[in-house]
Structure 1
Amino acid sequence: MSTLILKTKINAPIEKCFDLSRSLDLHTESMKSYKEKVVGGKLTGLIDLGEQVTWQASHFAISFKMTNKITAMKKPFYFVDEMLKGPFKLLHHQHHFTAAGTFTEMTDIFAFQSPMGLIGRAVDSLFLKRYLHKLLTARNQVIKSVAELP
């Protein structure tokens, strides 16, 4: 299993950062270049505990669907989404938020594992980990830019 840890400092209240991170509409906007769209489950708005969303996306010229569920949440401090069905053997994404004065520190702990045993582990370490880091960083920059709007 591979794990990414990203920290993003945002000049905005914790509640705003928490809600923007749960926004299906903002997620869709931030992933437009990957043709991600919601095709099932909760379709718009803020996803909440116990709710599911099915995404359709295209990465590496491969189109696929992935269903995730919010399995844990303590507003506005953290939530967890886990893949129920999709291209990974395992996907577990923790979103943590810590208030620090006028700033919020947003921490992503993104654990994943590709299928196909040894071949999947090689794919993860050779390029998928870097690709997912770039993808999450870009998404976090969209959250940051929207959160810091007056």
Structure 2
Amino acid sequence: MKTYALKFKQNIPISIDEAWDFFSSPLNLQKITPDDMRFVVTSDYTADTKMYAGMIITYKISPLLGIKMDWMTEITHVADKQYFVDEQRFGPYALWHHQHHFKEIPGGIEMTDILHYAIPYSVIGTIANNVFVGKKVRDIFKYRTKVIEDMFGKM
């Protein structure tokens, strides 16, 4: 099984408190995910719910051709106002390990996403990643960058 690693950085002109408040709320993930993914958090959380180690979050997604899928991630690590990690427990990937890091910088914060993922089905998964999955994942993060800039501004 081939594993892929991607890293994305974005500087945002907000405080670490504001960043943590927004990004540690599971429901806000819907706000920064492309509409064509039809991404919906199905866990019974409120807007005030904050991530904690051991938290399970369930979703409905349509990553390909409008086909609906269930996805479940666990928040495995949390360091307040520094980072959190989500890992897939059930879903479309053979592996999904996503780190979210936050660091104060002059004028705002630097947000870094480090993603490791793998596609199931061996050679077919590798071909699928090369043909469309890898581009789709990068496009999702490109979309997030734009939405976050629209919401919070650009540095």
State the TM-score, normalized to the length of structure 2: 0.86
1:1-150 matched pairs, under 5 angstroms: 1-31=3-33, 33=35, 34-40=37-43, 42=45, 44=47, 45-61=49-65, 62-148=67-153
Deviation (angstroms), 1:121: 1.7
What do residues 43-81 of structure 1 show as CA deviations (whole Å, max 9, x unaligned)? 643322211110101122221011001100111111100
Is 1:5–1:108's contact at 8 Å kept on the other side of the alignment?
Answer: yes
**Paired residue secondary structure (1:40):** coil
State the TM-score, normalized to the length of structure 1: 0.88
Residues 142 and 26 (structure 1), Cα distance of their counterparts in 2 relative to 1, 3 Å cut = farther
* Separation (CA, whole Å) in 2 of partners of 1:60 and 1:40: 22
* Separation (CA, whole Å) in 2 of partners of 1:86 and 1:43: 23
Paired amino acid for 1:131: K
**Unmatched tracts of structure 1, length 5 or more:** none
Paired amino acid for 2:118: Q
Residues 47 and 107 (structure 1), Cα distance of their counterparts in 2 relative to 1, 3 Å cut = same
Is 2:27–2:45's contact at 8 Å kept on the other side of the alignment?
Answer: no
What do residues 76-123 of structure 1 show as CA deviations (whole Å, max 9, x unaligned)? 111100001111100000001111112211000011101001111221
Is 1:27–1:139's contact at 8 Å kept on the other side of the alignment?
Answer: no
- Over aligned residue pairs, what C-alpha RMSD do you find? 2.0
Question: What is the total number of aligned residue pairs between the two structures?
Answer: 149
* Separation (CA, whole Å) in 2 of partners of 1:123 and 1:32: 20
**Unmatched tracts of structure 2, length 5 or more:** none
